[in-house]
Amino acid sequence: MYDGSGYHGWQVQENAVTVQEKIQDAIEKILSVRENIVGCSRTDSGVHANMFCFNMRTDKEIDTSKIVRSLNAVLPEDISVISCEEADFNFHARYDCTSKEYKYLIWNDKSRNPFLTGRALHYPGEIDIDLLNEEAKSFLGTHDFSSFCAADSSVEDKTRTVKNIGFEKNGKLIEFKIEADGFLYNMVRIIVGTLLDVNSGKIERGKIEEIINSKDRKSAGKTAAACGLYLNIVNYNK
């Protein structure tokens, strides 16, 4: 798991610090060789992960019961390895994933919560949870999510299947969860931003299906801030 506030996403970049880079640095310190690691997702800059899986192939002998402690001893405090196990040689953390669940946190109060700065969206206006849950139902099932993908995405197939979606309120903290077989670039953040625009009246109620069918990014709402987004659960068959 990791707090993504100080990183430019997961994937290694030439001129920016990323989570993958820090983990590869830690592995190199432990194994004395810089191994390539394959992540289950490409989280954006500022996005967090409660669960994140990666795999690597190595010729080095590894004691899976000890390497977790060894890695955590050299990793930054905002990244933590939870477990390690031997996998099938052909296992691929990204392509073998059957579904993922993302979570988005919203602090719904007139005043900011300093303990959630960088970890939740501050939304001072009233939020109608019942309305948003009703509107969110339109995303369930298999759709072309072109309207909910960053305009500069190069992905050709934008069809994804949403299995579960909904909002829950716990005091002033609102939690949005969505599970799908895959996600497009900024997809969750655009869905959250669009639903919040419905909540505020910027987008008319009952228009989500029409927006989906338009396959036009301009018809959807804003892209919600990265700070509230967490990769929450990664599912595999085995």
Q: Could you list the active site residues?
A: 44
Evaluate whether 192 touches 132 at the Cβ level (below 8 Å). Answer: no
Give the C-alpha separation, 227 to 149, whole Å. 18
**Angle in degrees, CA 15, 58, 68, rounded to 5:** 80
- Closest of 153, 54, 51, 34 to residue 95, by C-alpha: 54
Give the number of residues written for the chain.
238
Q: Identify the helix (H) or strand (E) that includes residue 67.
A: helix 64-74
End-to-end CA distance of the chain: 20
Tell me the two tokens of residue 71: 């890695």
